[in-house]
Chain A
Amino acid sequence: MQQTLNLHDREELIAPLYQFDRKFWTTLAVLIVIITPGMLLYVRQLVLGLGVTDLNRPVFWGAYLVNFIFLIGISMAGTVISATLQLLKVNWRRPITRIAESLTVFGLMTAGLQIIMDMGRPDRLAFTLIYGRLQAPLLWDIASLTLYLLTAVFALYLQLIPDIALLRDTAPDTAPAWRKKLYSILSLGWTGAKEQWRRLEKAITVVSVFIIPIGISLHTVTSWLFSTTVQPGWKSTILGPYFVVGAIFSGIGLLFIATTFARQYNKHLKEYITEIFYTNLGWIFIVMSAVWFYFTLNETLVVVTEQETLEFPVMASKLFGQFAPAFWGMNILMIAATWILVAPKFVSDKPTRNPLLKTITGLGATAIAIIIFFLLWLRLPALAAPAIQTGLLIAFVLFLIFALLGITKWMKTRLITSTVIASAFVLFGMWLERWNILMPTLTHARLIPYTTYLPTVTEIAITISTFGILTLMFVVFYKFFPSISIWEVEEGRALENKSGG
């Protein structure tokens, strides 16, 4: 019979949990430095009032709400993807389920934090529970968020039980007593009896079935916060699925980044989280990007074509107005991310003679493209002639294509690096997407002159702080629990051996 947990695994996955080395403390210190300014500025906001932000009339919602939607989005993917893969019995999911599920929990917690930071009277938070009205979309969101958070914590905990029992049984003698006690309580007296395994797996399957609709409901309800109002740009029926697709898209992006971060942090994980995961989830990523482009085209084209008096100014501000940098920036980021993911699939990994596919060509073309961009941007009077401007624009696009072609080969050999770059692009692009949904509508009120909104230092610091808190939770949590579901990996190996031998 297949030997169960081998010593090798134990050394690599459990031993680091007790090593509070310099790397850990440095990470902690850096994170605290990142978090502190935002927290201090939040205290200032509490004392002075929300006026320290750039919110105004009619821009009553701002960066906090954008962060809220973004965090809800990244939180959705973790558990929903893990549950889907679980139900489909996909084997390469095993090493990443833990990270995915924990991201959900932490994402939801920080999302809740954003709502509290956005409230004018956070001291009256309990009023939403005492006087909650069923008609208000905000209450649907509270119900959905609470339910999803509880279910996600439960799913994470269920997956953790066998591993906690393992930690309880294998704790080194040097381990502090309170940690042993913690593991002993949390393991619920798990012995690994056959009946216990049977029940656990049953419970995990049932939770996986239920968590998918709950997750989708949360993001749909979040979109309903906007689409149930009568404001131009929001009252759209497509917003619900658009939010869900964007959520899964950005969630996969964060999952890639978090997994790679964990791999870099604990080098041993590279044996468990292999390139297979990057390749296979990469395909889902590509599909989601295609769906996302489809929805974006729907949102844009319909409004542009009908040119309705209220809706069109909102769209126009995105296409060529004050939100053009954010809108086109988002599109360029998404196109670049898709290219990074798709293009390497079309070239072979053998050395090439084609000069177009050489890295040096790519770097040269990038440099030239940047120079042309600045020439265009500076609007030199010597180059003001329309013919020259058009020529420069065409040259810019041409060299951009050369640059993209040139880096393809380089990316082909660096699957993980290129996936992480694409993920970062997608995450930033998705944040901009949320911004582009919220802000143009808010700044284009019906009876108030069009205004602008730019986050102040307070809002930027609190945003940075929020992502710091997310990382901090991640780092601290994985000092207490293994970042890989050990028993699931073992189970996978056992199944492989069974079918192979």
Chain B
Amino acid sequence: MNFPLEQPLFQFFYWLVNTPGVGAAVVGLLVGTAVTIFALTLRWIASAKSAEQESYPYPPQH
């Protein structure tokens, strides 16, 4: 019988979706990636140094 689960590739896929912990790893990867990207973006924004000030309608002049 030509049953997909007899092929190693599909067996691997089944292992992937059925093993406890793999899902956790995927969620962890997603969250980790997102948090890293967000943190790097914030650092990228904060690190911008420029000589000229107030070239834009903010902040208020004291």
Direct touch of chains A and B (CB < 8 A): yes
> Which residue numbers of A lie inside 8 Å of B, CB to CB?
1-2, 4-5, 10, 128-136, 139, 142-143, 146-147, 150-151, 154, 157, 161-162, 165-166, 169-170, 188-200, 203, 487, 490-491, 493-494
Task: Please report the number of residue pairs spanning A and B whose Cβ atoms sit closer than 8 angstroms.
Answer: 124
* A150 in contact with B59 given A131-B24, A193-B50 (CB within 8 Å): no
* A192 in contact with B45 given A129-B27, A146-B30, A150-B38 (CB within 8 Å): no
How many B residues, CB 8 Å from partner? 37
Please determine whether B60 and A133 come into contact, CB atoms closer than 8 angstroms.
no
Please determine whether B57 and A490 come into contact, CB atoms closer than 8 angstroms.
yes
* A194 in contact with B26 given A133-B20, A151-B34, A169-B60 (CB within 8 Å): no
* A131 in contact with B20 given A4-B60, A147-B31, A194-B55 (CB within 8 Å): yes
The reply to whether the CB of B21 lies closer than 8 angstroms to some CB of chain A is yes
Beyond contacts A166-B59, A196-B50: 14 other A-B pairs, Cβ-Cβ < 8 A, are A2-B57, A10-B60, A132-B23, A132-B26, A134-B18, A134-B19, A147-B31, A154-B34, A161-B45, A188-B46, A191-B59, A192-B53, A203-B41, A490-B58
Please determine whether B27 and A203 come into contact, CB atoms closer than 8 angstroms.
no
Which partner residue on chain B sits nearest A189 by CB separation?
B46
Q: Report how far A65 CA is from B33 CA in the complex, Å.
A: 29
Q: Report how far A157 CA is from B41 CA in the complex, Å.
A: 12
* A143 in contact with B26 given A150-B34, A188-B45 (CB within 8 Å): yes
Q: Report how far A128 CA is from B21 CA in the complex, Å.
A: 9
Q: Do most interface residues of chain B lie in helix, strand or loop, or is the interface mixed? A: helix
Chosen A-B contacts, 22 in total, with CB atoms closer than 8 Å, are A4-B57, A4-B60, A128-B24, A129-B24, A130-B21, A131-B20, A132-B20, A133-B20, A133-B22, A143-B30, A146-B27, A147-B30, A161-B45, A162-B58, A162-B59, A166-B59, A170-B60, A192-B54, A193-B52, A197-B56, A490-B58, A491-B57
How distant is A439 from chain B, measured CB to nearest CB, in Å? 29
User: Considering the complex of A and B, which 3 residue pairs feature the smallest CB-CB distances, nearest first?
Assistant: A132-B23, A132-B24, A131-B20
Q: Report how far A301 CA is from B23 CA in the complex, Å.
A: 38
Please determine whether A4 and B59 come into contact, CB atoms closer than 8 angstroms.
yes
Partner of A165, one of B24, B54, B59: B59
Which partner residue on chain A sits nearest B19 by CB separation?
A133
How distant is B25 from chain A, measured CB to nearest CB, in Å? 8
Please determine whether B48 and A5 come into contact, CB atoms closer than 8 angstroms.
no
1/0 contact trace for B29-42 toward A, CB 8 Å?
01100110010011
Which partner residue on chain B sits nearest A1 by CB separation?
B57
Please determine whether B26 and A4 come into contact, CB atoms closer than 8 angstroms.
no
The reply to whether the CB of B61 lies closer than 8 angstroms to some CB of chain A is yes
Please determine whether A132 and B60 come into contact, CB atoms closer than 8 angstroms.
no
| Residues on the A chain within 8 Å of B23, using CB | 132-136, 139, 143
Please determine whether A5 and B58 come into contact, CB atoms closer than 8 angstroms.
yes
Q: Report how far A190 CA is from B46 CA in the complex, Å.
A: 6
Q: Report how far A258 CA is from B59 CA in the complex, Å.
A: 29
Q: Report how far A151 CA is from B48 CA in the complex, Å.
A: 22
| Residues on the B chain within 8 Å of A196, using CB | 45-46, 48, 50
The reply to whether the CB of B17 lies closer than 8 angstroms to some CB of chain A is yes
| Residues on the B chain within 8 Å of A154, using CB | 34, 38, 41
| Residues on the A chain within 8 Å of B60, using CB | 4-5, 10, 166, 169-170
Which partner residue on chain B sits nearest A490 by CB separation?
B57
| Residues on the A chain within 8 Å of B26, using CB | 132, 134, 143
| Residues on the B chain within 8 Å of A131, using CB | 20-21, 24
* A199 in contact with B21 given A154-B38, A165-B59, A194-B50 (CB within 8 Å): no
Please determine whether A135 and B34 come into contact, CB atoms closer than 8 angstroms.
no
- Which of B30, B46, B60 has the most chain A CB atoms inside 10 A of its CB? B60
| Residues on the B chain within 8 Å of A142, using CB | 27
Q: Report how far A200 CA is from B58 CA in the complex, Å.
A: 13
Q: Report how far A143 CA is from B18 CA in the complex, Å.
A: 16
Q: Report how far A209 CA is from B47 CA in the complex, Å.
A: 23
| Residues on the B chain within 8 Å of A487, using CB | 58
Q: Report how far A147 CA is from B50 CA in the complex, Å.
A: 33
Partner of A169, one of B31, B53, B59: B59
| Residues on the B chain within 8 Å of A10, using CB | 60
How distant is A201 from chain B, measured CB to nearest CB, in Å? 10
Please determine whether B57 and A132 come into contact, CB atoms closer than 8 angstroms.
no
| Residues on the A chain within 8 Å of B16, using CB | 134
Q: Report how far A192 CA is from B28 CA in the complex, Å.
A: 35
| Residues on the A chain within 8 Å of B35, using CB | 150
Which partner residue on chain A sits nearest B62 by CB separation?
A169
Please determine whether B48 and A139 come into contact, CB atoms closer than 8 angstroms.
no
Q: Report how far A8 CA is from B44 CA in the complex, Å.
A: 33
| Residues on the A chain within 8 Å of B53, using CB | 191-193
| Residues on the A chain within 8 Å of B17, using CB | 133-135
How distant is B35 from chain A, measured CB to nearest CB, in Å? 7
Partner of A195, one of B20, B22, B30, B48: B48
Please determine whether B61 and A4 come into contact, CB atoms closer than 8 angstroms.
yes
Please determine whether A199 and B44 come into contact, CB atoms closer than 8 angstroms.
yes
Q: Report how far A136 CA is from B50 CA in the complex, Å.
A: 50
